[in-house]
Amino acid sequence: MHPQYSRRLHKTVRRLVPDSDVRFLLSESGSGKGAAMVTAVAYRLADQSRQIAQTLAEFRLSKAQLLEVKKRMKIEIERGLKKDTHGTATVKMLPTFVRSCPDGSENGDFLALDLGGTNFRVLLVKIRSGKKRTVEMHNKIYAIPIEIMQGTGEELFDHIVYCISDFLDYMGMKNARLPLGFTFSFPCQQTSLDAGRLVTWTKGFKATDCEGEDVVELLREGIKRKEEFDLDVVAIVNDTVGTMMTCAYEEPSCEIGLIAGTGSNACYMEEVRNIETVEGDEGRMCVNMEWGAFGDNGCLDDIRTQYDRAVDENSLNEGKQRYEKMCSGMYLGEIVRNILIDLTKRGFLFRGRVSETLKTRGIFETKFLSQIESDRLALLQVRAILQQLGLNSTCDDSIIVKEVCGTVSRRAAQICGAGMAAVVDKIRENRGLDHLDVTVGVDGTLYKLHPHFSRIMQQSVKELAPKCDVTFLLSEDGSGKGAALITAVGCRQRELERQQQH
């Protein structure tokens, strides 16, 4: 109402922000109309919050539901071990023929191969026993082009042998016939330490003429074709078993291996008498559970959401590895992306616009989820990460995205913990103990890099298996060092058998 007020206000604003064109509009009835609008917005936001909470409620599992997951995992473990149900069991419980952990007497130079993803590693591992045990490693990483991953088996193994040849040249060791451990991180039906048939490719591999074949033979044939060097293939190794062995070298109470990374799997020392697919009753043997396929028979359908089903339907191996698709790094981002698309279509996110980026499979890598969920990150930084992904977000959007990520990864950690609770309880019951102390060797990006996964998973195991005291140890390079240790133990085993025969 002051005659000079508006003119002076305009002038001051122009002086302070000369580059901006600021206009002032007179408001009609601010207190009446405005209050009504604020109320309407508040109602809309409350309704939106309620609907988002409803969407995420399916991912929030109660203790009773988690105990049910544990119980079902136990049932599937038994089915995998028994001869008459093994054929149809989803959790395959594959014998690995690794009968003991390292005892410190291992000694020598070993070659290790590591094939389990888009990269392939060749390592030379020098193990020295004695008072001061040492493990020295040299390695080189080679890429596996997608056309080789999805070409013929012969091309794949020729490529592997070419990489070994290059490495032996690099190390100047072409003439030594080294014992070799082959970490092959795919489901394998082993018949001995150095023989295993590939059950099925996973993780994007599709090379022909390999499924059902003995991969050690395929490797030996590849080496023969090259005619440049010879190797003594002692052991085929699953990365989960390698993880357990690496930890057992440092900590003898380690009898379980867990991978929580791109994929999800576990192994543990089972009593041979319980493994009906193997001859004999004496001692223990490490069993590769291949637990990613838990739920493939529908036993987890009651906790799978529409988003889990969407991720499964759009995957390379529909209907397979359902448990893994709920708790491994390769799929968590996809679950999040599917939820975000749904919330956007319903007008709760990104101004209701589903961008091309959001339609792109695989944009939410585990590392982004880990960053978004970091407690140290302010919402502005979450916005910056979303910006990197080409998603223009408001602060409200960032809050919702952070909540979605947290809900999905929390469930992953909890159901992974429920699976582990089943394993530790099985070991305790095998040994007729009231209380079990045991160590788990763990590897995998999800476990290592995610800000909350390891804590929530450990908490879950504690709640669901109260009679077990479980220590988790980070494993250093299970697929490299672990493969060499298994090879060393295998050489020791072989030597013992030779002596017994003479």
pLDDT tens sequence across 245-258: 999 998 999 999 99
Task: Determine the Cα–Cα distance for residues 301 and 454; give it in Å rounded to an integer.
Answer: 25
pLDDT at 467 over 80: yes
Phi-psi region of 26 (alpha: psi -120 to 50; beta: other; left: phi over 0): beta
Locate all alpha helices (DSSP H) within 172-313, ordered by sequence: 215-226, 239-250, 306-313
| 153 close to 213: Cβ distance less than 8 angstroms | yes
pLDDT at 379 over 90: no
Task: Determine the Cα–Cα distance for residues 185 and 483; give it in Å rounded to an integer.
Answer: 11
Q: What is the DSSP letter of 158?
A: H
Query: pTM value?
Result: 0.85
pLDDT digits 0-9 by tens, 304-337: 999 999 999 999 889 999 999 999 988 999 999 9
326-362 residues labelled b (16+ CB within 10 A) or e (exposed): bbbbbbbbbbbbbbbbbbbeeebbbeeeeeeebeeee
Catalytic choice (72, 79, 99, 121): 121
Q: Is 304 a catalytic residue?
A: no
Comparing 39-53, 118-132, 192-206, the range with the smallest average pLDDT is: 39-53
Catalytic choice (114, 214, 239, 443): 239
Task: Determine the Cα–Cα distance for residues 153 and 219; give it in Å rounded to an integer.
Answer: 10
Residues sharing a CB contact under 8 Å with residue 153, sequence separation 6 or more, in sequence order: 207, 208, 209, 210, 213, 218
| 275 close to 339: Cβ distance less than 8 angstroms | no
Structure tokens belonging to residue 320: 């397979």
By the 10 Å C-beta count (0-12 exposed, 13-18 middle, 19+ buried), 320 is classed as: middle
| Closest residue by Cα to residue 276 from 88, 78, 91, 424 | 78
Catalytic choice (185, 393, 398, 454): 185
Residue 320's pLDDT is 93
Q: Is 185 a catalytic residue?
A: yes
Residue 297 three-state SS:
coil
- Cα dihedral across residues 143, 206, 412, 293: positive or negative: negative
Q: Is 121 a catalytic residue?
A: yes
